[in-house]
Structure 1
Amino acid sequence: MTYYDYRAGKKRIDEILNARMPIQASSKLPSTDNLTFENAYNSWISALFVDIRNSTELFADDDREQTAKIIRSFTSEIIEILRDDPLLREIGIRGDCVYAIYTTPKKTDLYEVHNKAAYVNSFIAMLNRILRNHGLDTIRAGIGLAVGDDHIIKAGRKGVGINSTVWIGDAVSKASKLSGFGDKNGISRIVMSSLFYSNLVDVYKEQRPDSGFETWYHTSNSLPYWGTRHGNVIIADMDNWIDAGMTD
């Protein structure tokens, strides 16, 4: 029979609530390995979530081996796109969603995160072309982007090796929610928060003033949060290669 020592539990909660936990402001978030149960950081971070849209139907498919191969293809290549970056602070899988969190102390860092979203967008087109070539059903997915000045703590049970990083603020929660709106009901695949968009506009105006970036993303009454934008930005070279048949 399971036994929980609730008296000891009450003492542990009192210790946590009564202890000092200094929150260190950091322009660039250090490695999460530096987190302990006694400290916390506050820093600008960006989150990117990629959420499979039709996962319920996909997971209910009778051909489970084929479904497993599709999910493995989806997750492995998106992780490959998102992982290779010195700004990366966490990457993982939540159910049918792949996510990554980056330290983004400068506006120009958002350019790199957005570029990854564009690669993911083009990859989904590539994966769907390959799936069609194999006679398989295609997938849909939403890509959520958000930025925030958030708190980062280590949470779990001290001393037993069960813990995880918890991100307290707007970036992670918004990116996760926005990914659920992409690629359905007339909304494009990439959906970004208003703060992410407004900062990214500044970067494009400075670095690529003739890009026409303001025309790439649009508002919609069906999206949550004021100023949320959606668009379908791709990597042109990759998209041309897909259209050419991916033979070389």
Structure 2
Amino acid sequence: MKTLDYNYKDRKKKVEEILDNTDKVNEVKKFPRDEDFTYTNAYKAWAGAIFVDLRDSTTLFTSNNDVDIAKVIRGFTSEIIEILRKDLEANDLKEIGIRGDCVFAVYSTPLKTDIYEIANRAFYINTYMDMLNKLLKNRSLPTIKAGIGLATNPTLAVKAGRKSSGVHNLVWIGESVAKASNLSDLGNKNGNGAIVMSSVFYSNYIDNASEEAKNWWTQKYDSSYGTYYHGNVVKSAFNDWIKDGMKD
């Protein structure tokens, strides 16, 4: 590896240019196309986030051989990504990715129906976890659990990185992404159901849900995260198919 020769005097000018040229935050109903983000602007709009966080991954990684771990992680990530990205209108999905043992997605959510659809994807993921565990068990592979965190709020999106370097991404500033990540850590733990919603997410989701849906959720309070709602909702037809042996 070559020794770093960082020209801090020249780079000081570049930092000053970045600081002085960022001149506008556009408050919009819906986030624009990625190409509309520049290094001099930023956008603020409603965003919804979902984080699917593997429970007790340390035990999984230290108690099993590498091949088994690779199989489990690929089974976990591949179909969750498919559920998070499938059948979306162009530009609704703003970011999707993997952070360590967590799969996440960020969506533009100008309407309450958009928030309801994120919840629907969480229900599919929660059901898929049952399918995956049956497939893992049939192959004598370790079974797993996950917490699913959901949050929404007005969110600032800033294109960050270095121009012309190829290293850049949107940075999400606000409660939606951070809270969804934190709430995923509460799912499937300490008596909580797998799915955990922030209070703002729940209030928007429930407006488009059936009256019966209110019975699916339990309200709880945490000193760090405030009021949240947790449950273990699954997709009925999908769940019945799993119980019936997953026959073609």
TM range, normalised to the smaller chain? over 0.9
Report if the CA contact (8 A) 1:118-1:233 is conserved: yes
Displacement after TM superposition at 1:21 (Å): 2.5
Q: Please report the RMSD computed on the Cα atoms of aligned residues, expressed in angstroms.
A: 1.4
Aligned to 1:136: 141
Match of 1:116 among 111, 118, 121: 121
Displacement after TM superposition at 1:31 (Å): 2.2
Superimposed CA distance per residue, residues 98-153 of structure 1 (whole angstroms, 9 cap, x where no aligned partner): 11111110111111110000000000011011111112221010000000101101
Superimposed CA distance per residue, residues 157-191 of structure 1 (whole angstroms, 9 cap, x where no aligned partner): 12211111100111100001111111111111001
Asked if 1:246 corresponds to 2:236, the answer is no
**Amino acid in the other structure paired with 1:194:** S
Aligned to 1:102: 107
Superimposed CA distance per residue, residues 178-225 of structure 1 (whole angstroms, 9 cap, x where no aligned partner): 111111111110011110001112222xxx3xx422221112345742
More deviation in 77-86 or 6-15?
6-15
Aligned to 2:25: 23
**Amino acid in the other structure paired with 2:244:** A
Q: Unaligned stretches of 5+ in structure 1? A: none
Aligned to 1:3: 5
1:214 and 1:18 map into 2 onto residues whose CA distance is 49
Q: Unaligned stretches of 5+ in structure 2? A: none
Match of 1:182 among 158, 182, 187: 187
Secondary structure of the corresponding residue to residue 60 of structure 1: helix
Aligned to 1:234: 234
Change (3 A) 1:224 1:190: farther
Asked if 1:151 corresponds to 2:156, the answer is yes
Displacement after TM superposition at 1:20 (Å): 3.7
Aligned to 1:81: 83
1:77 and 1:38 map into 2 onto residues whose CA distance is 37
Secondary structure of the corresponding residue to residue 189 of structure 2: coil
TM-score after normalising by structure 1:
0.94
Secondary structure of the corresponding residue to residue 227 of structure 1: strand
Secondary structure of the corresponding residue to residue 212 of structure 1: helix
Asked if 1:199 corresponds to 2:204, the answer is yes
2:230 and 2:167 map into 1 onto residues whose CA distance is 38
1:233 and 1:64 map into 2 onto residues whose CA distance is 32
Q: Percent identity?
A: 47
Report if the CA contact (8 A) 1:181-1:223 is conserved: no
Aligned to 2:219: 219
Match of 2:49 among 33, 47, 54: 47
TM-score after normalising by structure 2:
0.94
Report if the CA contact (8 A) 1:61-1:67 is conserved: no
